Structure 1
Amino acid sequence: MTIETTQLGSLTSLRQRNVSTVLKVLRQHGGMTQVELAEATLLSTATISSIVRELSEKKRS
């Protein structure tokens, strides 16, 4: 396994963990703004925005 593959795997698992965290918080607290999600999850607003966009696109498909 190359360093690039290991790093990609790490980034993928980090992304999955962040998405899971966001979904868990939403299930526990219901609807929230992106700023509230960032505060509740301790993720950056940019990360939250990206996750929300990804989940919205998946919902539409």
Structure 2
Amino acid sequence: MKAQLVNRLEDWDFSSFRDYAGLRKGTLCNQELSQQVLLVNFDTFYEESYQVIQDDLVKQIL
């Protein structure tokens, strides 16, 4: 979205976003393993993915 290649996160076919958001039952990612190791609430993943994070905070993470 940031590069303006898509308008919504779920529009990028080459991302595991749709799998994690429950919009696709693909094999791009191992969802069982990711649920064990990632600190993500998959029940609210879709909604939380659209929260805006300030650019300066993202730069601190990188």
TM-score for the superposition, normalised by structure 2: 0.22
Q: More helix per residue: 1 or 2? A: 1
Q: Relative contact order: is structure 1 or structure 2 higher (C-alpha 8 Å, sep ≥ 6)?
A: 1
TM-score for the superposition, normalised by structure 1: 0.22
